[in-house]
Amino acid sequence: MRMMSKNLNSDITKLITRYLSIREHSRLELKNKLTDKGYHPKDISEAIEEFSLKDIQSDIRFTEEFIRSRLKKNKGPRLIAAELTARGIPDNTVTKKLSEVPDDQWLNHTVDALSKKLKSSAITINDKVKIYSFLTSRGFENKMIKYAIDECQNEC
């Protein structure tokens, strides 16, 4: 194993520590940020691996936190999956963690997103094409959208 120079290791370590103190980051996000700063890819990989081995950086923890944050914003599973994949999270991890969210929670978030949209725009519950377009763009599946429309016709 190639050892990093003390100063380089210290600089990278300080940056990773700072990034992770603000919020969880995926390995890919850290790699991209450090690459943008001009550090050598091998030094970056070694430093990130060290943080991962010590469980200071965790793609699992990042994924869980990312899903929680997107649920608070009423985002759907398809959009969340795409965003996680773009951040370097493996498909099997994405699928597993998204499946841990109960179906009724997804449905509630779909209804919440639709309710909020109906209150803040000129769209009415009868504008099905616009509703489908809006909720699809937020990552919700057709069955979730149908459920939300049915719920909002009764209650919104």
CATH of 6-57, one of 1.10.10, 1.20.1070, 1.10.3470, 1.10.3420: 1.10.10
Domain span(s) for CATH 1.10.10 in the chain: 6-57
Q: Could you tell me the mean pLDDT of each successive run of 10 residues in the chain, 156 residues long?
A: 50 95 97 95 94 96 98 97 98 98 97 92 84 96 95 78
Q: What is the DSSP string of the chain?
A: -PPPPHHHHHHHHHHHHHHHHHS---HHHHHHHHHHTT--HHHHHHHHHHHHHTTSS-HHHHHHHHHHHHHHTT--HHHHHHHHHHTT--HHHHHHHHHTS-HHHHHHHHHHHHHHHHHHSS--TT-HHHHHHHHHHTT--HHHHHHHHHHHHHH-
